[in-house]
Amino acid sequence: MWLSPRRMVHSWLDSVDIRVNGDRPWDIQIHDPSIYRRAVLQGTLGLGESYMEGWWDCERLDHFFEKVLSSDIQRTFDRNFFMLVEFVRAHIVNLQGKSRAFKIGQHHYDIGNDFYQRMLDTRMTYTCGYWNNAANLDQAQEAKLDLVCRKLELKAGDKVLDIGCGWGSFAKFAAERYGVEVVGITVSKEQVGLAQELCKGLPVTIRLCDYRQLEGTFDHIVSLGMFEHVGYRNYKTYMRAVAGNLKDDGLFLLHTIGHKISVRSGDPWIEKYIFPNSMLPSIKQIAKATEGVFVMEDWHNFGADYDKTLMAWFENFNRNWGEFEQRYGERFYRMWNYFLLSCAGAFRARHLQLWQVIFSKQGVRRGYMRLA
């Protein structure tokens, strides 16, 4: 029996206890009935765009997405024309090739250092915090940075490469607390400028550089939240580049968001508005890329902590929005709320994961001792 888009959406939402125009925090309020057809035809792209345009609202988007992503509804949204276009495009074009390497920096990371200073912790760490014994965002991020340093077994005088260094939070922390020398690379011009300023006086070098341009030999290598921009076509190239710049007895720590299944393209809405040319790796894809290149020493999943991290960023973003309202406007505001809260719901539902993986080139002879 044929169902109208309205009845179809109502049926989907009813199956996960979400009511249209209900009075619970996770229920959605429809302002424009055109949303039904748009959601059915365009999937996640249409859902996100229509929210940005004010067609619907939800008091607690994080709860809404937790319910949706804990069910099979996501598969329904994935089967639409726009997902097919992205899938085909990813097969034809290397979306993360050298010529596109700096697009993500310009689109996402260069929108304003002051914006990120207000949203993130005091160290400006734009990756998942480690909340095991932390009471707030600053403590969680410092705990994560210290955990990384301990997992790499850093000692004074070590030379460390930070691939995707952001605003230099790890480089500054490791140089100050562990006495190491750090070279950080990023594809964001804005990040380079501020990171150099924040790390001034420390043995830290920050460069505007793609990982395929790497030169040098390092005692250890770390990559925090950058692998999501590499793309499945380039995973093996990335791993070989890391191995080529790592000493034989060195350790490589990969910190990345991960997907439960192997995909070859990203979510259309995230791809268009937040992280262009991005996609999330799976365990299988990482294993295939490291086969014959690295020995996996440890695999740590603390994806549930990203929910807390994103909710802390959301609170900071909204508390400081008044400073940016005139610059960015209402559509940007709704876009960022949607981004932060939909991702929080995805991690809360365990739809997405956060992995820290330790690799060695030849295996740690004494055996690697896990710290967390």
Which positions are catalytic? 343
| Residue positions counted in the chain | 372
Within 8 A by CB and 6+ apart from 189, the residues are: 105, 106, 110, 208
Hey, CA dihedral for 150, 253, 117, 49, is it positive or negative? negative
**Are the C-beta atoms of 300 and 125 separated by less than 8 Å?**
no
Cβ neighbours of residue 185 closer than 8 Å, sequence gap 6 or more: 161, 162, 163, 164, 165, 206, 207, 208, 209, 210, 211, 214
CA distances, 349 to each of 63, 345, 356 (Å): 9, 6, 19
CB atoms within 10 A of CB 299: 15
Quick check: helix, strand or coil at residue 360? strand
Residue 63 phi, psi (nearest 5): -65, -40
Q: What is the DSSP string of 329-341?
A: HHHHHHHHHHHHH
Kindly list the strands in the beta sheet with 352-360, ordered across the sheet, starting from the edge strand earlier in the chain: 204-208, 181-186, 159-163, 218-224, 246-259, 352-360, 295-301
Tokens representing residue 268 in the block:
């259309």
Q: What is the largest CA-CA distance in the chain?
A: 70
